[in-house]
């Protein structure tokens, strides 16, 4: 008969705090004495958990979902007041870092998006709904590959493929979260769509839309809820000009307000993204005070395409570092969104 051993001790030094969830947890970079390594330790207050059975729900979900695109787990334990979950320290940060103050190329979005979906498919195959897919929770491995993290809200599906959850991060909530506490894996598909939307347009674009509802005590909850239910938040028509219609359509289907109209699995989304290719993949947008500038390097050719505040455009091409020459067809007094997209698919 196996006997439990309950005298284990945990010892670590806190180096810095890297995340805080006011409801129940804090996350630190620590020096673990047992492993003699820098790791990440998530500290969860026991008082916020409903029962002892929930102490290790997150660590069990992480362990069950072992996959190259899911964050690993070292161990889990507890003391009188807290539960601790120990994970590797990923120094490259998260997708949130990639989209704050800068823009990703379409190729980067598709590559990381496919890795997110691979991890999510694995999570779903283990009977779990994640419930908290967002740029903050997509970490970057040493090889800069996407890793789905933070299983603090993950729940097991029952025999009907339904999981119960009543806690949600408001900006990333799917419409059905406003009506019920029972969900299937399409809840995660909606959050994938929002994550891809933010990857296409940048964090500032997303939070500028959130800002229209106010902040803190002034937040217009009812208008926000109405807009989420009716597909008005986020604005499905508002994309950076270099994002191709094929990717916009994939995101749009993820963001359908009715669950039955969305992709029904992570693999379905990945397969839809797999067909996106063309000249648009490597343009990178830089926002400047009075203009938007896109650059692209193809073989030995460097392109720079500028849209000024007054709507005029100018495009230059240089080869092998030589003199930049104007690309006449892309230099106009005014361009429609459709004209802009044509530039990004032709050059």
Cα 145 to Cα 92: distance, rounded to the nearest angstrom? 10
In CATH, what is the architecture of 12-88? 2-Layer Sandwich (3.30)
The class (CATH top level) of 95-280 is mainly alpha
The answer to whether 239 and 93 have CB atoms below 8 angstroms apart is: no
Residue 275, both tokens = 């067909």
Predicted confidence band of residue 53 (pLDDT cuts 50, 70, 90): low
Half-sphere exposure of 42 (CA within 13 A, CB side): 26
Residue 21 above 80 pLDDT? Answer: no
Nearest to 302 by CA among 267, 272, 347: 347
Element (H, E) at 197: helix 186-201
Cα 47 to Cα 55: distance, rounded to the nearest angstrom? 10
Domain boundary assignment for the chain: 12-88, 95-280, 283-346
Half-sphere exposure of 339 (CA within 13 A, CB side): 13
**Which of the two residues, 264 and 216, has the higher pLDDT score?**
264
Cα 100 to Cα 136: distance, rounded to the nearest angstrom? 11
Provide the phi-psi class of 320: left if phi over 0, else alpha when psi is between -120 and 50, else beta.
left
Residue found by looking up tokens 């889990």 in the block: 76
Residue found by looking up tokens 């800069």 in the block: 144
pLDDT tens, position by position, 245-296: 999 999 999 999 999 999 999 999 999 999 898 878 999 999 988 899 999 9
Average pLDDT, the chain: 90
Provide the phi-psi class of 162: left if phi over 0, else alpha when psi is between -120 and 50, else beta.
beta
The average pLDDT across 326-330 equals 90
Residue found by looking up tokens 């000249």 in the block: 279
Q: What is the pLDDT of residue 179?
A: 93
The average pLDDT across 193-221 equals 95
């Amino acid at each position: 008969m196996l006997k439990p051993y309950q005298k284990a001790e945990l010892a670590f030094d806190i180096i810095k705090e890297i995340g805080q969830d006011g409801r129940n947890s804090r996350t630190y970079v620590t020096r673990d004495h047992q492993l003699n390594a820098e790791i990440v330790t998530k500290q969860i207050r026991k008082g916020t958990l409903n029962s002892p059975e929930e102490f290790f729900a997150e660590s069990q979900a992480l362990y069950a979902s072992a996959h190259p695109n899911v964050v690993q787990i070292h161990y889990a334990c507890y003391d009188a007041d807290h539960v601790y979950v120990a994970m590797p320290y990923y120094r490259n940060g998260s997708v949130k870092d990639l989209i704050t103050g800068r823009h990703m190329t379409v190729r980067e979005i598709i590559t990381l998006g496919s890795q997110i979906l691979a991890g999510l498919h694995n999570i779903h195959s283990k009977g779990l709904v994640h419930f908290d897919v967002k740029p903050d929770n997509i970490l970057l491995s040493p090889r800069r590959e996407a890793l789905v993290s933070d299983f603090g809200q993950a729940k097991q599906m029952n025999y009907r493929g339904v999981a119960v959850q009543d806690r949600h991060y408001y900006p990333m909530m799917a419409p059905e979260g406003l009506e019920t506490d029972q969900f299937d894996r399409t809840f995660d598909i909606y959050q994938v769509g929002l994550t891809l939307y933010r990857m296409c347009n940048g964090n500032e674009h997303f939070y500028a839309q959130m800002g229209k509802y106010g902040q803190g005590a002034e937040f217009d909850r009812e208008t926000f809820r109405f807009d989420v239910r009716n597909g008005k938040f986020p604005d499905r028509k508002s994309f950076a000009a270099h994002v191709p219609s094929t990717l916009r359509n994939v995101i749009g289907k993820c963001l359908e307000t009715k669950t039955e109209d969305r992709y029904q699995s992570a693999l379905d989304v990945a397969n839809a993204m797999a067909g996106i290719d063309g000249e648009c993949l490597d343009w990178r947008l830089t926002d400047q005070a009075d203009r938007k500038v896109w650059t692209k390097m193809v073989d030995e050719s460097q392109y720079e395409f500028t849209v000024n505040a007054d709507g005029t455009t100018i495009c230059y091409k240089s080869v092998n570092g030589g003199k930049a020459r104007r690309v006449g067809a892309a230099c106009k007094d005014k361009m429609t969104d459709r004209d802009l997209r044509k530039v990004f698919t032709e050059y």
